[in-house]
């Protein structure tokens, strides 16, 4: 037996892809041309899989703020938030995020993964119970496994199943952490948050919502699914990332619970990693302001999402259950999904190929994410690339 034996299935898949001349995982972006176009593996493509939802990665004000911070404060902090890594910008961003969400407290993390994993691993512990949606992100699963708490999964987006599992816990349900996402990253479907909050109010517990893929998209002010559902006051912790709508990297948690300020000193992903670079904090602060000042970005994003969703559906593809800036096409046959991804790249459309176990089912996905920066003509070019595949016709991509 070898330590490497468990990786043999991955080794076999990689060898198979290399032999076919297709490398969909970690495809190399050689040159960024704009928020929506790049050279990927030698092909000029429209970027339809970047999560750059508001298209702010090349926003001049964000670039200027980042460049100024880079010149004035250097390339990095070289320390954790608890050592030398808390700069004035970190505190300012925490205050601005708290104000944006209408919450009293905020923690800024180095990545979105650190935020979600850190809260999930720290809020509950041995003797406690965590009940989470079965389709939760890997970072949440990693966190709850580290917590030492009892883990209970409920059926995806099924508030009745959540209620049943909390009811079975009896008095323990009052001391339970419930975890859901706002928009789920693979299929783009939304949590029935109003129904979930009703269950929480009836059974007890604390509710954590990951708004990573819904920040800037939903609600009157763009605060996410909780705002859109009118239940923000019932959500105990909101976590998310800067790497989607805000076009940077980092993560956050906001809450009205005063205990969060003490909890931060127990979160290992906060304590034991270097803090975000000043340039990242500076661009994120500007992006947060622009997101609030430009609601037209949100409207343009949803117009593009509707256009792509309707177009793919009319072509006969099996698409996500509801319209969102994440639009996924389900492909049952793995080899066909790989061939489709390669054909799309050749036809000028870069999308994400998602295969089990990363996909929520045994099927593969061609996952698209739409940006406010896409033009209608670019959406149509993405649709033309999909049309070349033939919905359901494997021969079309051989």
Tell me: do 96 and 245 sit in the same domain.
yes
Is 122 in the same domain as 145?
A: yes
pLDDT at 395: 42
DSSP-derived letter for residue 319 is B
- The answer to whether residues 106 and 246 belong to one domain is yes
Q: Is residue 359 part of a domain?
A: yes
Domain end (from 293, 318, 347): 293
Which residue among 261, 293, 325 closes a domain?
Answer: 293
Q: Are 317 and 239 found together in one domain?
A: no
185 is catalytic: yes
Question: What's the CATH code of the domain at 261?
Answer: 3.40.640.10
pTM of the model: 0.93
Kindly state whether residue 376 falls inside one of the protein's structural domains. yes
Would residue 222 count as lying in a domain?
A: yes
Catalytic residue among 103, 105, 200, 244: 244
Please write the tens of the pLDDT for every residue from 255-287: 999 999 999 999 999 999 999 999 999 999 999
176 falls within a domain = yes
Q: Quick: pLDDT tens for 62-115.
A: 999 999 999 999 999 999 999 999 999 999 999 999 999 999 999 999 999 999
Tokens at 139, concatenated? 């970072």
CATH classification of the domain holding 47: 3.90.1150.10
Domain with 142 in it: 60-293
Is 357 part of any domain? yes
Catalytic position from the list 139, 213, 214, 320: 213
The torsion defined by the Cα of 41, 58, 277 and 73, in degrees rounded to 10, comes to 130
Q: How many Cα atoms sit within 13 Å of 165 on the Cβ side?
A: 23
Same domain membership, residue 241 and residue 140: yes
For residues 318 and 219, what is the distance between their CA atoms, to the nearest angstrom? 28
- Residue 192 covered by a domain: yes
Annotated catalytic residue within 121, 136, 147, 185: 185
Residue 45 sits in the same domain as residue 69: no
pLDDT at 220 exceeding the cut of 90: yes
Phi-psi region of 324 (alpha: psi -120 to 50; beta: other; left: phi over 0): beta
Q: Virtual CA dihedral for 67, 68, 73, 74, nearest 10 degrees?
A: 20
Domains in the chain, number: 2
Please give the full DSSP string across 181-233, using - where no structure is assigned.
ESB-TTT-PBP-HHHHHHHHHHH--EEEEE-TTTTTTSSTTS--HHHHHT-GG
Classify 129 as helix, strand or coil.
strand
The answer to whether residues 152 and 91 belong to one domain is yes
Residue 206 within any structural domain of the chain: yes
* Cα gap 79→339, rounded to integer Å: 45
Whether pLDDT at 1 is above 90: no
Q: Is the distance from CB of 349 to CB of 381 less than 8 angstroms?
A: yes
Check whether residue 23 and residue 69 sit in a common domain.
no
- The edge-to-edge listing of strands for the beta sheet with 37-40 is 29-34, 37-40, 43-47, 349-350
The question of whether 105 is a catalytic residue gets the answer no
The answer to whether 20 and 353 are in contact (CB under 8 A) is: no
Percentage of the residues of the chain whose pLDDT score is greater than 90: 87
Task: Return d(Cα 315, Cα 324) in angstroms, integer.
Answer: 18
Determine the number of helices (DSSP H) and then strands (DSSP E) in the chain: 14, 14
Residues 367 and 254 in one domain: no
Q: Are residues 175 and 255 in the same domain?
A: yes
Catalytic site includes residue 244: yes
Residue 150 confidence (pLDDT) above 80: yes
Q: Are residues 287 and 321 in the same domain?
A: no
Same domain, 255 and 179: yes
């Amino acid at each position: 037996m070898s330590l490497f034996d468990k990786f043999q299935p991955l080794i076999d898949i990689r060898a198979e892809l290399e032999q076919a001349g297709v490398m969909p995982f970690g495809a190399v972006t050689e040159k960024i041309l704009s928020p929506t176009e790049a050279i990927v593996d030698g092909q000029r493509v429209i970027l339809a899989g970047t999560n750059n939802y508001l298209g702010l990665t090349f926003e001049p004000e964000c670039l200027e703020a980042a460049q100024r911070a880079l010149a004035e404060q250097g390339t990095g902090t070289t320390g954790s938030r608890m050592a030398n890594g808390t700069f004035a910008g970190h505190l300012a961003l925490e205050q601005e995020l708290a104000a944006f969400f209408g919450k009293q407290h905020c923690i800024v993390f180095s990545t979105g993964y650190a935020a979600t994993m850190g809260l999930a691993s720290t809020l509950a512990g041995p003797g406690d119970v965590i009940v989470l949606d079965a389709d939760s992100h890997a970072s949440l699963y990693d966190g709850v496994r580290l917590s030492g708490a009892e883990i209970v999964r409920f059926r995806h987006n099924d508030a009745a199943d959540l209620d049943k599992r909390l009811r079975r816990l009896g008095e323990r349900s009052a001391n339970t952490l419930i975890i859901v996402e706002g928009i789920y990253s693979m299929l783009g479907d939304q949590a029935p948050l109003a129904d979930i909050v009703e269950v929480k109010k009836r059974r007890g517990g604390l509710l954590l919502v990951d708004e990573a893929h819904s920040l800037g998209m939903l609600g009157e002010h763009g605060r996410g699914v909780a705002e859109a559902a009118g239940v923000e006051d019932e959500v105990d912790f909101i976590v998310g990332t800067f790497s989607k709508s805000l076009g940077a990297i980092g993560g956050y948690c906001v809450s009205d619970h005063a205990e969060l300020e003490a909890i931060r000193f127990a979160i290992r992903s906060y304590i034991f990693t270097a803090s975000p670079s000043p340039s990242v904090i500076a661009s994120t602060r500007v992006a947060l302001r622009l997101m609030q000042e430009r609601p037209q970005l949100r409207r343009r994003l949803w117009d593009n999402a509707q256009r792509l969703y309707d177009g793919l559906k009319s072509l006969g593809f099996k698409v996500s259950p509801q319209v969102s800036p994440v639009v996924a096409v389900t492909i049952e046959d793995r080899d066909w999904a790989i061939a489709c991804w390669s054909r799309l790249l050749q036809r000028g459309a870069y999308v994400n190929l998602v295969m089990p176990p990363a996909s929520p089912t045994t099927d593969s996905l061609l996952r698209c994410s739409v940006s406010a920066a896409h033009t209608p003509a670019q959406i149509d070019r993405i649709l033309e690339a999909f049309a070349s595949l033939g919905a359901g016709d494997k021969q079309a991509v051989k």
